[in-house]
């Protein structure tokens, strides 16, 4: 079977061994084998997929990091023209535009494959609370998939998508990752826009990403993230959490772990043993120090989510249906949401005061370590067990997850091993707000410590070692346009391990022109020692082993030559053939390419 990682698919496309049409046809064929897993609420037909595939014809694969990459969308997130149900037929509507994150991913070249099953209204951590059928585990159909982002996780685990979007309020982007052997990224709240997502608890929700590796999760995050005025909770990503910091984690690491006396596995000896094996392995890994912490304040915060007034937010999301057609709501979900109309305002303030007190204690502990490390879940239940005790067992699934969004933390679930029953087990790394790239970097290192066993569908995923690049094995490159930090082609530097080392200007010997073509739009620099100006540029340091592939992807009339900087250095950088500027607009904005593009977007 074709490897579904981003790098493997891109290599196959570039080599001419695969086309998006062939990949989609293969996905549709294989999807028939897994109909009994109840993955999809709506899988896009070939006719519905045609506009997305045709849209790739005008996009150069080198310019679009997710070109031809298939992804699945939890069905509480909007895709233009395709019904959104949130797991409830009576609630459904057809959006006139895609959610901001979905639009960002499609603009990066990704192809939406379908809308996935979920615990109705994203209320649950198990995947059985859906009128479309319980979504079944990708490794053993007798076990739960985890929820509420159940179909999103299973679609990736079974090779029907490279990555998927879920949502996370209490652990829905992490628990399904654990149960299906995936990386599950729960970003900092507001890093991914929630515009176009049906809310569960609007003040706590965030979109999540399921992927086959940390490299893929980081690549998807880089294309998906953006500040969005349409989302009241959207927040700008600080520079310290930029994509270039992924994979740069250095040893030693100090990880906080739960005091053994406070661990709970709810009768699952296999998960208890798997976690003990992880801890034993880490304790013998040079450069890693494990320090026990007091979990009780985190547990107290976790209890607030469902025992406190935040259930009122879930009530708000489904209020109209509860009042007009309550029988349309899945029984267990209705029993959870309906009481949300009862809490009084004073109860909310009382709970917020209590949360604030715990938050200070918890954050103090979080900031003592590079990350917290704990089991993602304490037990993997069978579907039969979950249906027998739906409230009790669902609560147990959230023991290690419910506190994260209430405390405004970031988290990434990482697969580590398999139990004696050949079922996946994993841990979660937790950090402060906007620690996303730091956590992904630690997770990336853990992938080298806990390699995925053969036969799991992920054995061929790429892995990154901690960088130890020496100065004489790097090359500094000057960029001035779409490769600048935060702009559309910067990923071509970031994915090659590039590091921004200087923001400066050229000497007063250059003129900049807006070249024809795009998107993405590009400038061209022409040397003019008589009439030139200083041009704002950045200097990026690349591993020398990555320089050739970077240069090979540069389209005419651009190329790499030597550029003179204001301090007199001559470094390799982007230059343009004179023929390329014929009829082009000269850029005279003082802020260079960024300022020019800002004027074009207004």
Radius of gyration of the chain (CA): 25
The secondary structure of 520-538, three-state, reads CCCEEEEECCCCCECCEEE
Residues known to be catalytic: 74, 148, 172
Q: Cα–chain-centroid distance for residue 597?
A: 27
* Gap between the Cα atoms of 241 and 407, Å rounded: 19
Structural tokens at position 335: 């029993």
Q: Cα–chain-centroid distance for residue 167?
A: 10
Structural tokens at position 9: 């698919």
The SS3 assignment for 253 reads: strand
Are 452 and 461 in contact by the 8 Å Cβ rule? The answer is yes
Residue keyed to tokens 């959207």: 234
- The closest of 347, 327, 321, 394 to 119, measured between CA atoms, is 394
DSSP label at 20? H
| Beta carbons within 10 angstroms of residue 598's beta carbon | 11
Beta-strand pair 253-258/371-375: parallel
Handedness of CA 213, 214, 215, 217 (dihedral sign): positive
Beta-strand pair 253-258/288-293: parallel
- The closest of 483, 568, 474, 574 to 526, measured between CA atoms, is 574
Structural tokens at position 288: 């890693």
Query: What order do you get walking across the sheet with 40-43 strand by strand?
Result: 40-43, 111-116, 70-74, 163-168, 206-211, 183-186, 410-418, 424-431, 371-375, 253-258, 288-293
Beta-strand pair 111-116/70-74: parallel
Structural tokens at position 63: 């310019």
What does residue 346 show for φ and ψ, rounded to 5 degrees? Answer: -65, -25
Helices (H) and strands (E) in the chain, counts: 20, 19
* Gap between the Cα atoms of 23 and 446, Å rounded: 31
């Amino acid at each position: 079977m074709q490897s579904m990682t981003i790098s493997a698919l891109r290599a196959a496309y570039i080599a001419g061994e695969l086309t998006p049409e062939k990949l989609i046809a293969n996905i549709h064929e294989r999807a028939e084998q897994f109909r009994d897993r109840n993955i999809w609420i709506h899988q896009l037909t070939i006719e519905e997929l045609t506009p997305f595939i045709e849209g790739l014809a005008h996009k150069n694969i080198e310019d679009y990091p997710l070109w031809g990459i298939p992804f699945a969308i939890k069905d509480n997130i909007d895709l233009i023209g395709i019904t959104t149900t949130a797991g409830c037929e009576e609630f459904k509507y057809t959006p006139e535009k895609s959610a901001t994150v979905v639009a960002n991913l499609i603009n990066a070249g990704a192809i939406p494959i379908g809308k996935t099953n979920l615990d109705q209204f994203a209320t649950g951590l198990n995947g059985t609370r859906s009128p479309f059928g319980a979504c079944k585990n990708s490794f053993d159909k007798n076990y739960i998939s985890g929820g509420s982002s159940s179909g999103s996780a299973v679609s990736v685990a079974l090779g029907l998508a490279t990555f998927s979007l879920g949502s996370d309020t209490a652990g829905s982007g992490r628990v399904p990752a654990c149960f299906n052997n995936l990386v599950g990224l729960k970003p900092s709240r507001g890093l991914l826009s929630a515009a176009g997502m049906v809310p569960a608890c609007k003040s706590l929700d965030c979109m999540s990403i399921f992927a086959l590796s940390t490299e893929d999760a980081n690549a998807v995050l880089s294309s998906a993230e953006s500040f969005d005025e349409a989302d009241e909770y959207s927040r700008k990503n600080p520079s310290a959490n930029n994509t270039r910091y992924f994979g740069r984690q250095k040893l030693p690491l100090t990880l906080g772990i739960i005091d053994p006396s406070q661990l709970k596995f709810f009768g699952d000896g296999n998960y208890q043993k798997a976690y003990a094996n992880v801890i034993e392995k880490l304790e013998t890994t040079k450069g890693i120090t494990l320090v026990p912490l007091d979990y009780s304040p985190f547990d107290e915060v976790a209890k607030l989510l469902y025992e406190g007034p935040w259930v009122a937010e879930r009530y708000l999301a489904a209020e109209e249906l509860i009042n007009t057609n309550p029988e349309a709501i899945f029984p267990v979900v209705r029993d959870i949401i309906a009481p949300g109309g009862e809490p009084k305002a004073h109860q909310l303030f009382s709970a917020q005061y209590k949360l604030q007190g715990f938050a200070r204690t918890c954050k103090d502990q979080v900031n003592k370590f590079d990350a917290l490390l704990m089991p993602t879940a304490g037990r993997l239940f069978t579907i039969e067990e979950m249906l027998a005790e739906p409230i009790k067992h669902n609560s147990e699934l959230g023991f290690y997850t419910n506190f994260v969004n209430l405390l405004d933390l970031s988290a990434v679930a990482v697969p580590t091993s398999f139990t004696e029953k050949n079922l996946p087990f994993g841990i979660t790394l937790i950090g402060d707000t906007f620690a996303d790239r730091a956590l992904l970097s630690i997770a990336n290192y853990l992938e080298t410590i806990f390699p995925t066993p053969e036969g799991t569908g992920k054995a061929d995923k790429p892995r990154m070692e901690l960088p130890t690049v020496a100065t004489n094995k790097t090359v500094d490159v000057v960029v001035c346009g779409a490769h600048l930090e935060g702009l559309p082609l910067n990923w071509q530097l970031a994915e090659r391990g590039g590091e921004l080392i200087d923001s400066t200007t050229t000497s007063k010997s250059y003129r900049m022109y807006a070249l024809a073509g795009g998107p993405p739009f590009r400038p061209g620099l022409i040397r003019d020692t008589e009439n030139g100006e200083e041009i704002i540029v950045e200097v990026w340091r690349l591993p020398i082993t990555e320089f050739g592939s970077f240069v090979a992807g540069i389209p005419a009339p651009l190329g790499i030559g030597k550029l003179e900087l204001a301090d007199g250095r001559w470094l390799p950088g982007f230059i343009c053939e004179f023929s390329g500027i014929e009829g082009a607009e000269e850029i005279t904005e003082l802020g260079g390419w960024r300022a020019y593009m800002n004027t074009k977007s207004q």
